[in-house]
Structure 1
Amino acid sequence: MPDRRTAQEALKRLTVDVADWPQDGVTFKDITPVLADHHAFSAIIAALAAAGRDDHGNLVVDKVVGMEARGFILAAPVALALGIGFVPVRKAGKLPRETHAVSYSLEYGEATLEVHTDGIAEGERVLMVDDVLATGGTAAATRQLIESCGGTAVGASVLMELSFLDPRSVTGDLPVTSLLTV
């Protein structure tokens, strides 16, 4: 099985910085080359999924939540690797049934996220998965959604953390596993 170092090396080698996208002043981290490489993608999924297990390999989560949109690409295979369910957290108006909603600020605007009210059961332990932890707003909002369902966010597992934006000042005591800190 690929190790964490393999995942980190793949991220460094294959992630492409795109300046001024989606707007001036923002450097977008394009992970599509990582996803296109089977070995890199496999290593990354295994490394992200490790956050859902304890030091003895025992499962410590009941569900995996992925945040729209690139979080879906990562969280669904993480859930499969852990043998548990996947729950999408979507932008407002994208889920067809009753939802909980949270609005928040992100690095280049405002957003609202939603989750189905029955997506997470009372007492379920949830691993949050996303591609980039930037300002921490998406993670904090997702944690609120999990808690509004009665679940507990036990941690977040991300490909990379943009430390210069100080996201942990927003995520507080939420344990965060980042494969790469930029």
Structure 2
Amino acid sequence: MTQLTIALILFLAPLAYSPGPGNMFFAANGARFGFRATVPANLGYHAATLVVTIGIGLGFDWISREAPMFLAIIRFAGAAYVLYLAWMLARAGVMSGNDEAKPASVMDGAILLLLNPKAYLIIALMFTQFAGAADMHRTASVIWIAAVFTVNNAVAFSIYAALGDGMTARWRSPDTARFLNLSFAAILAGVAIWMLLA
């Protein structure tokens, strides 16, 4: 199991820590509201990650093979949701005195995972490489792989949220707050376009 875990983490490192919808979402929220405010969305995202990963590992991935429209629908819905998040961030005010701006919720985190086609593709790819690699029962193997995947992603997103929070801590003025909001909104919009074209 140790060998499987090390191989899995090495496999996931470039995928989990590269910029993607989840990482940019948490970086933007960390910059906007601070690291602590990203925890509920992080919990929601990774609760959904664990459920979806176990589902795919136990056979759910046949849907993407048998119904290719499924991934297309997820891709467009995910891109639309990320664009919505970008729009909300672009409209957000400065760091204080704005009651309308709220940090992402547990539900926002879960929806982001459910509408993130990159996550589905990585999960499916991961199981093509590692399913049956461990000398254990298939269900136990799937649960272990799903747990390692979920924890690894949680660490990556926490790092991005902390980096975003660090940027905010250095620049607290209204002008720079607005600049950061617009910058991260533009990055999220770019991610949404990438989701449509990838």
RCO comparison, higher one (Cα < 8 Å, 6+): 2
Q: Which has the larger radius of gyration?
A: 2
> So what's the TM-score if we normalise by structure 2?
0.26
Q: Which has the higher strand share?
A: 1
Higher helix share: 2
